Amino acid sequence: MVDLSPYYLDRTEVSRADYFACVNAGQCATPIVAGDCQQQSFNGADGDLPVACVRHEDAIGYCAWMGMRLPTEAEWEKGARGPFRFTSRFPWGDDSDTSRAVMECQGTLNACVQSVYGFEGSASPYGMLHATGNVAEYVADYYDSFFYQTSPTTDPERDSFTFDGRVILGGSWRQGIGFGRVTNRAAE
C-alpha cells in the first residue's frame, strides 16, 4: 500500500495527431520505423489512433512540450485499477475477456490498434481508456523487480538508473491478455 499526492492523469493514450503536432513543432522525434513498427499516418481517422514506437525520451519530451510529465508507476496503476480497495485484475474487473481490450491481435500495428477514444465499456473506475492493451505505456520509473519491498510508502518513484531500463505497463496489441493486468510490470 502506498499513498499518493493529488495528481491528474490523461484519460487516453497519446493520439498520433497530438504527437505529430509535437513532431511538426520540432520538439519530438518521429516514431521508429523498423520491425513491427510501421510508418504511422496521422491524417484523417488515423489521427485518433495511438502513437506507437517512440522511445522513452520521446515520451518525456512530448509530455514536457504539453506542460505535463509521465506518471509514476504507482500513479498509473491507481489510474488503471481505481480507488483504494479496488483490487480487480483488469480495469473493468477480474474476467480476462479479450474482447474488452486490443490484445492478442495477429495483424500489423496499423491493422490492430484502435482509436484512443474507444472501448468506453472497458474504462477504469477513474475513466482511463486502454489501460489494458492497444499500445503499452511508459511511466517515469526505472524498473526494479523488488522496488516496492523497499520503496517509500508515499509517492514512490524509482528515479535512479537500473540496467533493466524503464517500466512499461498495460500490455500491447500483440501480447496475451495476461500482460494487460493492471499489476503486470515489464522493462523496456
Q: What is the largest CA-CA distance in the chain?
A: 47
Residue 90: which of 177, 172, 185, 1 has the closest Cα?
177
Q: Could you read off the pLDDT of 103-128 as tens digits, one per residue?
A: 999 999 999 999 999 999 999 999 99
Residue with cell 482509436: 115
* Buried-exposed string 17-46: b where 16+ CB fall within 10 A, e elsewhere: bbbbbbbeeeebeebeeeeeebebebeeeb
Beta bridge partners, 187, equal 167
The answer to whether 97 and 132 have CB atoms below 8 angstroms apart is no
Radius of gyration of the chain (CA): 16
Distance of alpha carbon 169 from alpha carbon 188, whole angstroms: 10
pLDDT reported for residue 87: 82
H or E stretch including 151? none
- DSSP of 119-147, one letter per residue? -GGG--TT--S-SSBSS-EEEEEEP-TTH
The answer to whether 143 and 167 have CB atoms below 8 angstroms apart is yes
Distance of alpha carbon 139 from alpha carbon 149, whole angstroms: 19
Residue with cell 472497458: 122
Which segments in the chain show pLDDT lower than 70? none
pLDDT reported for residue 160: 86
